[in-house]
Amino acid sequence: MLDVPSYNLKDINVFNFRNHEWNEERIIETVSSMLACRIQYGLRVKAISIKNKEDKDLSEIKRTKSKILDIELTYTNDDGTEDINISYDIPWLINNHFYVGGNWKVCIFQLFDKPVIKRKNLIKIRTNIQSIMLEQKTSTRRKYNYQISLFGKKFPFARLVISFLGVDGTRERFNLNEDNEYTGGTISPQLDELTKDVQKILNDQTIDFYHLRKHQSLAL
């Protein structure tokens, strides 16, 4: 048989790594590490085990191939000691598939973005609730230097800054006088661009800053 080195797979590869991830020893090890914080709460782990679940004669739609994860804990406080037993049904891997509710489920390997992504002209913050993207505009026709995407809307980042700090707080933070003129020292080009955005908005006579901050505070 022809041996092509570049086609040789490692012992743990894309076809079998789920079996190495989802086995009794690995699961018990992971659960143990998750419970490492237990000591400060008066908990002590007595045993962690996985046992087979008795198959029941159920209709196909209710059948699930699973095992039982048992966790035995001891809780100690000033009143004494109490034993706590917790059991979980966990779907079990069969030929790289799960069998849940009468259906074979494929294990999907999913990639997740990092919570903070920084690129040349962009910073993106991802959370389970909301994603926020701050972008530095570089086109010659730009109205503002920095734009933020939040709650499905795009608007100048300087507006968010003013809404959060208030007019007086913004002037203090960016070294602006009552006429919104810069009175500080030398600053970086990026901060200079943001300061100009702030000045442009503060000088906009059409903006009601009281209602702008009230609306933004409710949104945040």
Q: What is the pLDDT of residue 217?
A: 46
Q: What is the pLDDT of residue 8?
A: 74
Q: What is the pLDDT of residue 135?
A: 93
Q: What is the pLDDT of residue 69?
A: 92
Q: What is the pLDDT of residue 16?
A: 75
For the chain (220 residues), the mean pLDDT of every run of 10, in chain order, is 66 75 87 83 88 70 82 88 90 85 78 79 85 89 91 90 90 93 92 94 79 49
Q: What is the pLDDT of residue 200?
A: 93
Q: What share of the chain is helix, strand, coil (3-state, %, to 5)?
A: 30, 30, 35
Q: What is the pLDDT of residue 49?
A: 92
Q: What is the pLDDT of residue 220?
A: 45
Cα 175 from Cα 182, distance rounded (Å): 6
User: Residue 121 carries which side chain, given as an amino acid letter?
Assistant: N
Q: What is the pLDDT of residue 219?
A: 45
3-state secondary structure 99-131: EECCEEEECCCCCCCCCEEEECCEEEEECCCCE
